[in-house]
């Protein structure tokens, strides 16, 4: 959270969305790349891809998030300083 706060200003317009995927296929990467090229060149826009694999993906019944499967998280960050852009 501290890292995100360091690069995000208070009062930006827009928001973040996430999508969970079990696999990222080449066809999906082509679509992502196509739309990244169209993204506004505002410093507050971005795309992050997180991967959950290995020991982190193992089930843990003692945790409230115990049911885990290997997956990817695509975080779409769409924010601008000026809502007119």
The chain-wide mean pLDDT, for the chain, equals 77
DSSP string computed for the chain: -HHHHHH--TT-EEEEEEEEES---HHHHHHHHHHHHHS---TT-EEEEEEE-GGGGS--TTSTT-----EEEEEEEEEESSTT-
Q: Would you place residue 79 in the very low, low, confident or very high pLDDT band (cuts 50, 70, 90)? A: confident
| pLDDT the model gives residue 6 | 67
Q: What percentage of the chain exceeds 90 in pLDDT?
A: 9
Q: Does 48 score more than 80 pLDDT? A: yes
CA distance 74 to 49: 5
Q: 78 vs 83, which has greater pLDDT?
A: 78
Note the pTM of the prediction, 2 decimals: 0.61
The predicted-structure confidence for 13-33, as pLDDT tens digits, reads as follows 777 888 888 889 999 999 988
Break the chain into its structural domains and give their ranges.
2-80
């Amino acid at each position: 959270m501290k890292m995100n706060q360091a690069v995000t200003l208070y009062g930006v317009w827009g928001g973040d969305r996430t999508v969970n995927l079990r696999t990222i296929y080449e066809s999906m990467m082509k679509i992502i790349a196509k739309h990244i090229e169209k993204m506004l060149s505002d410093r507050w826009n971005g795309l992050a891809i997180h991967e959950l694999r290995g020991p982190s993906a193992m089930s843990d019944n003692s945790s409230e998030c115990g049911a885990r499967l290997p997956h990817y998280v695509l975080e779409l960050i769409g924010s601008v300083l000026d809502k007119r852009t």
